């Protein structure tokens, strides 16, 4: 047993919108021989509930974080070969499904963003409130760390990262401050970075919000290439879904949600040219939306589980196969 498997995942993490996810996936997941992909396995809370609710379901769980896979593996061991866990980033969903011996799936669940495990373990460097090495990699076995990005990126690139991925209005000021600070000493810890950002922030802004919040989000997205991966993953996942299958996607910040909305809306529209008197079958929408806009957690869940506060859930069902 590893150091991770000795911990109880259910005590570390409360799945967001669990009942709603099960409800939305149920018509597809309850079919005989159904296959559902949990593309962001985490500590296995959603997957465990799906496997319990649908006794004939096979679940393929993906995660790039080996710690999460170890915890989820222990949690889901009682389901035997009904739970197939794969060390993969979610844009590798096609390879993972084919590697498990399937050509199509009945459902997919995405629970995007940083996981509770990553936020709660200070040494991972995701949380600006705790001093730790600036790592921020979801998969600690590959890729640049946040410290390496801060050490090597030119000022223009840093500014672009903070603007694009953090929507930070003080991006230029923060980039200049980081360049000046790293000339004096390497920026290796989250506490150092917070101090640099605090010093570069006008007092009026410091009174309104924490200067590090958007910068840390932007660095995390850059380190893990989250938006680039998501832009590939959503179409790949939708392409795998068979007729009547469903996709449920939860996003926690506006950049993710825009990508999700754009793809789902595009797949749920007719492609018939304007003015065509009759819509031909090949122009009909591939999917129909199951939610009106993005659904939010209710007040009770937001109070019980603060990590549900920013969630935006969207879902769709395949209504036409593409030849």
Q: In this predicted model, what pLDDT tens digit does every residue of 145-183 receive, in sequence order?
A: 999 999 999 999 999 999 999 999 999 999 999 999 999
Confidence (pTM): 0.87
The owner of tokens 């070969």 is: 81
Question: Is 45 known as a binding-site position?
Answer: yes
203: CB partners within 8 A, 6+ apart: none
Residue 159 belongs to what domain range? 124-224
Here the tokens at position 304 are 């019980």
In the three-class reduction of DSSP (H, G, I as helix; E, B as strand; rest coil), residue 83 is classed as strand
What phi, psi does 239 have (nearest 5°)?
Answer: -65, -25
Looking at the structure, tell me whether residues 211 and 88 fall in a common domain: no
CATH number of the domain at 96, please: 3.40.50.150
Give a yes or no: residue 323 inside a domain. no
| Residue at 117 is within a domain | no
Residue 259's pLDDT band (boundaries 50, 70, 90)? Answer: very high
Residues 312 and 173 in one domain: no
For residue 275, what are its two tokens?
Answer: 């003015």
- Per-residue confidence (pLDDT) for residue 3, from 0 to 100: 44
Do 305 and 242 share a structural domain?
Answer: yes
Collapsing DSSP states into helix, strand and coil, what is residue 61? strand
63 is in an annotated binding site: yes
* Residue ending a domain, choose from 167, 193, 224: 224
Rounded Cα distance between 19 and 281, Å, is 35
Same domain, 141 and 76: no
Would you tell me how many other CB atoms lie within 10 Å of the CB of residue 56? Answer: 11
Who's near 186: CB < 8 A, 6+ residues apart? 147, 151
What's the length of the chain?
323
pLDDT of residue 1: 39
Domain co-membership, 255 together with 312: yes
Q: Is 90 annotated as a binding residue?
A: yes
Start-to-end CA span in the chain (Å): 47
Give which of 116, 68, 60, 49 is closest to 92, Cα–Cα: 60
Both 142 and 13 in a single domain?
no
Residues 6+ positions from 88 with CB-CB distance below 8 Å:
62, 63, 64, 95, 96
Smallest CA-to-CA distance from 2 within 75, 85, 74 is with 74
Comparing CA positions, the residue from 221, 250, 253, 201 lying closest to residue 126 is 221
44 belongs to an annotated ligand binding site: yes
pLDDT band for 277, please (50, 70, 90 cuts).
Answer: low
Would the annotation count 13 as a binding residue?
no
Structural domain contains residue 2: no
What Å distances lie between residue 118 and 87, 221, 240, CA to CA? 16, 14, 29
Look at residues 140, 12, 9 and name the one whose alpha carbon lies nearest to residue 72: 9
133: burial class by Cβ within 10 Å (0-12, 13-18, 19+)?
A: middle
- Local structure of 208: helix, strand or coil: coil
Q: How many domains does the chain have?
A: 2
Instruction: Return the bridge partners of 83, or none.
Output: 59
Lookup: tokens for 42: 């985490």
296 and 216 together in one domain: no
- Would you say residue 59 lies in a domain? yes
Q: Is residue 218 part of a domain?
A: yes
Q: Is 275 exposed, middle or buried, given 0-12, 13-18 or 19+ CB atoms closer than 10 A?
A: exposed
List, for residues 195-231, the tens digit of each pLDDT value: 999 999 998 888 788 888 899 999 999 999 999 999 9
Q: Any known ligand binding at 166? A: no
Least confident interval from 93-107, 109-123, 220-234, 293-307: 109-123
């Amino acid at each position: 047993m590893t150091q991770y498997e000795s911990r109880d995942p259910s005590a570390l993490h409360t799945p967001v919108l669990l009942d709603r996810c099960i409800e939305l996936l149920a018509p597809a997941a309850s079919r005989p021989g159904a296959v559902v992909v949990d593309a962001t396995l985490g500590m296995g809370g959603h997957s465990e509930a799906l496997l319990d609710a649908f006794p004939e379901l096979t679940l393929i769980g993906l995660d790039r974080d080996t710690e999460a896979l170890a915890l989820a593996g222990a949690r889901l061991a009682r389901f035997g070969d009904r739970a197939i866990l794969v060390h993969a980033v979610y844009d590798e969903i096609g390879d993972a499904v084919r590697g498990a011996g399937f050509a199509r799936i009945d459902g997919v669940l995405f629970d995007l963003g940083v996981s509770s495990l990553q936020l709660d373990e200070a040494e991972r460097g995701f949380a600006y409130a705790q001093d730790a090495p600036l790592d921020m990699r979801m998969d600690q076995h590959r890729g640049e760390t946040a410290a390496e990005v801060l050490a090597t990126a030119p000022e223009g690139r840093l500014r672009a990262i903070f603007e694009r991925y953090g929507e930070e209005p003080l991006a230029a000021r923060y980039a200049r401050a980081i360049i000046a600070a790293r000339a004096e000493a390497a920026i290796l810890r989250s506490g150092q970075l917070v101090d640099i950002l605090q010093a570069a922030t006008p007092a009026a802004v410091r009174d309104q919000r924490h200067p590090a919040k958007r910068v840390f989000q932007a660095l995390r997205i850059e380190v893990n290439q989250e938006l680039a991966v998501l832009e590939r993953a959503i179409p790949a996942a939708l392409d795998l879904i068979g007729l009547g299958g469903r996709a449920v996607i939860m996003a926690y910040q506006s950049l993710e949600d825009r990508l999700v909305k754009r793809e789902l809306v595009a797949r749920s529209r007719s492609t018939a040219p304007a003015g065509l008197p009759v819509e031909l079958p090949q122009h009909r929408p591939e999917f129909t939306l199951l939610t009106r806009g993005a659904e939010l957690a209710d007040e009770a869940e937001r109070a019980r589980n603060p990590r549900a506060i920013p969630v935006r859930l969207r879902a769709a069902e395949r209504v036409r196969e593409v030849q």
